Each structure stands twice: as structure tokens, then as C-alpha cells.
Structure 1
């Protein structure tokens, strides 16, 4: 058997495992219909950590204040900002009695560490149920708190939500950012459904104060600059205490980066935390990436040399159809249907971008969250 035969059969094996991955892993979310949860009358602390976010607070904080929910407070954390962030917070606080401000000064031991600021905010929170978002995020409806908190139970103490990005017409970068966000969400929702949760996003995440302190907060990874959301979930979540929420009223929406340079820098910071995940999660995520990379590399190789091209095209189309169906159903749930038409191109670009970011992070490491 020659080299081309080995490449061909390797391609078949890769596609076989990818089909299993899409149908039996990602399918856990794609084919799942969540039942509507009855609203719960829980007291909730909404926590927003802001560093130099004066303009974003002016624009987005009113959508938090106007939430249709019976009893909630807003804990605004000013993380050593040097713009007018604190003044904006104080202006809102003077008009709304349910706003509490935590003004964090730079601490030599925790310089530039968002986790230190969030910890102080959590300690200041009045209620046990905590709901997190960012200063540049806006809930898509006035029922955001209601929807997210309806998934809390006695045992379910961590709720994963979806943090989307606003759509920009005719922007390739915007589509890439939203596609990466979609795929990440489909993965963490699916893995949570399977019972091996590994991450969440701080743009839309809820957990209890008791869960936070039982895990000793961020102490095990306090020295790691990023990861206040995904590393905390990775450490504390399990199949018994995790719940997902993806009703459209529960989404938050952020403004995406407008240049490749800024997005690349942002993703470097996010991806740098993955090496601190539990071993089983690192193995699974690495395997998923390697299979994606091999699929496109082997497919393109076999197409170029036209080795058994009829069979290769048939196998390629089967994989592409299954992927489109599974990701398409998820995209419909998460209101990202416009991305499906560009799926192959966006996937190839993302594979290249992730490899580039991984190599850059090996050379130099990102340090601060802002």
C-alpha cells in the first residue's frame, strides 16, 4: 500500500470521527429543545466589572437598569479606571437606589488582575444568586434576568448563557468573530449537556455566591490574568450543578472588535487560559482541532492530486452536509443563521487563526485584561 493510500484511509478515519463528533457531541445541543422554565422569585445581584468603560456604561447600563425583574441590585466594579468610569457610575447610582459601586484601587500584589476586582464585587454583593455581564454588553430583552435565573435550582448553581456579537453588514471580520463565538457556544453548551462542562463566557454567566466561596473563588488561578469566567467554570462545574440557558430573551449582545489586530489580541488573551483546563478537556479540545485541521489538509491534498477523487468528493460532501445540518440547527437557536452560507470558508480561516494564535502565545504571553 502506497503513501496515497495511507492518506486516503486516514481521511476516511478522520471523517468517521468527525461525524461521530457532530452527531453525538454537538448534536446534544443542536437537537435539544429546552422546555420553558417558570420564572423564579430569586433575589439577584447583577455584577459588572468595568475598566475604562465610561462611554459603554452610558450606552449599555440603562438596558440593565430597565430589566423587568422584581428584586435585583446592580454591583458596578470600577477596576482602577483612569477615564470617567467612576463618575458615570456615580451619576447612575445617584438616580437608582439599587446600584452599588465598588471602587477598586490598584493593588501591588494583584496589579491589573480582573479577578481581584471581581472578588471584591462578589463580596460586596447582597444576594446569593449572581449574574455576570460586561460593561460593553446589552441584554437583548428586558427579561434577561428572568430567563437566566429561571434555570437556578437547589442543585443547579451554575448557568451558562449566550453572549452574542452585533451584526455588521458586509464585514468579513464581523462574520469571523460571530462564527468563532457560535462554534465556541455550541461546544460549551453541548459538553455541558453531556456532563463534561469545561467553560462559560463572562458576558453572560450566572452562579451562586455559595458556589464561588466553596471553590475558594479564583484562588487556584488568581495569578493567571484571564479566565475569571472559563477557568472558574472549568474548575467548579460538573454534570450535577450545571445548567444551560439559550432562550432568545436570555442573550446578551456586544460590539465586536473592528480590526483584525484588536480581535487577534483579544483571542490571544482568551486562548491563553486553555492550557490551564483539566486534562480531559485539553485532550478533547486538542483532538477536535486536530481532526478539523486534518480534514481540510487531507481533503485538499487528495483533491489536488485527484486520488480516488469521486470517493473523496462523496465522503467530503457527507461530512459537509452533516456539519451544515448540526451547526445550522444550532445557529437557528442562537440567531446566527446568516453564517451558515459561509461555513466552509469561515471554518478554514478559524483553523488558521487558531494555529497562528497558539504559536504567538508560545512566543510571548498576554498579561493584562485591559
Structure 2
């Protein structure tokens, strides 16, 4: 038995070594993106379990890497995620996505409980002061604070918000857009979230402003708004619900109103999330593709504008990571070492994915019948440093 185990481990070691070599990654090398193996079980476990095992073995301390973002950039740039054979956890995820609606009403609040309720203290120390948990806009910004203010202003200008209008924010988070739009554009806002922690803090932050924060699933909406935005929420909707989501927006958007959708996007169509991210970070999540978005929109809306902000997200996530590392000592008593390694793996793998252009960020502006005078694409916000 011991001899067989050694043979299996040796084969797994050669197999992974060849994969890493194609991405210019060395095992026990000296460069920041090289990996150091701390537990020899790493090899056969990762070969058998794929991306789920890779993430879990890092959380367990079986391997380390000084620059995880560069490690993932090299893997994804080489397309190893496409050539590496499918593993059992990934196949199970695909079967679940095909056989059931993983983002139905009954499961809608799971991501809030598992991710967004992780702790307001954690997010407050990681994000900028506006608590904006989506891609910043760095065209003229030098800091995370300015990048997020610029992104919020860009959204408001794209929606052509005017004093007295009613704005619906689907997936309002901690109220960053609601707060910004109410203060700077004089609009009334209804914000929706599936996180109790987010709803509690958002209500505190928006006190005294014409802002209502609801703990509510988007499918329960039935009132009309002058403009609608959804920023960083569509990743939780699921491909079986894309059309239903768009029908809700169509039902709730005034005849001449605009809808802005801000979402992370995939380069190809999928039906489920990476197994590690599904288990530990965003349960039931998945990224839409251009084809999936187009099918959901047609023929409900006219697409007035489509902007790709993907290159800005690497800088945003690395800013979050630096804040997380700088403030970890202040909050680590509430969290385990395994959580620390999980969160580090999450942030830096995402940064590597954006650098490799493996994933994108899109802002779409949609209208019922198109604006009569045409839509003027806006790329430069007014609120910049």
C-alpha cells in the first residue's frame, strides 16, 4: 500500500510539475509567483480534486506562494483552467446547475448569510469609506476612495438622474450608491439587499435621507421607478433566472427610464461557479456571458451602451487586499487563521483573473424602446480627484 501511494504521488507530482512549467511556475522556486510545498499530500489531492482541492489545500497550509495574484495570472493566461481535465467537484456543480434552480427564492438569501454577513468590521477595514464592494473607476483616480466616488458618479450620470426622481438599487450593499445619489443628485432611493448585516448598516448610514433599505428578493418588486441600477448583484442571479430578472426590471422601469447593469462577466457561457468559490465565497454564484446577457435582454430592452471596466478591477481588488493585510491585526481575534488564508486566496486569485483578462466587468445601459434623441455614452465622471 505504501509503495502504491508513493507511485501515485510521484505521478501526480510529475503531472502538476508539467502544468506549472507551462505557466512558468516552479515548485520550490525563488520567484514571487513560484510555490512552496509544505505537505506532500498536495500532489495527489489536487490532481484528484481540481480547483476545489487547490484552494482547500492552501487554506490548510499545504502550500504557499508569496504572490498568489501572479501565480493565478500565469495559470489563467496559459489557459490551464481550460486544458486541465474536469474533476469530480466541478462535474457535480454542473449537474446541480442543470437539474435545479440554484438561485431560486428559497436559496436567494444564502449568499447574504455566507458572504456579506461575514462581518461589517471586516468590510469596513477592507473597502473605502463609502463601503463600495464593486469595481472602482480609475481613469483619473489615484486612490481607491477617488476611484469608487468616480464610479458612483459615472453610474448616476449614465442614468441621467435628476432631482425628484425615484431610483431603485437592486443589490444595494451597504448603501454606497443610495447614499451618493440621494446626497449629490437629489433623488429618492429604494435599495434591496439579501444581507441582514448590510441592511442594518445601510439604514444607519442613510438616516435622514430619502432612502429606504429593504431586506428583499428582487422577484418581489412590483412598483415603478424612474431609473434602476444593479451593481455587483447580477453575479448571484443564475442563468435560469436571467430572463425573469430582466422582466422584473421591465415591469418596474418607467417608460422613458434607464436601467444600468454593472456585473462581472465571463468570456464564455457557463452554468455554475468554480467549485471552490461556490463552497467558500459566493454560494450559488455564476458569471454571465455576452451571449447569455443578450438572450435575456432580447427583445425586452434596447441596449444603449456597453462599457468594459475589467482592467480597473485588478487595481481595485489589490487595494482591498492591501487594506485587508494592513488591518488584519485589528480583527483577527474574530476570525481563524484558515479564514485569513481563505480570504487572501479569494482576493488574490480574483486579481490574477482580471489581470489575465479571464474575467471582465461590464456596465450596460438599457431602455425600453431606446431614447428618442439617442443615448450619449458617458465615460468621464465629474466627481474625480
Q: Fold-level match, TM-score > 0.5? A: no
Q: TM-score, normalised by structure 2?
A: 0.25
Structure with greater helix percent: 1
Q: TM-score, normalised by structure 1?
A: 0.26
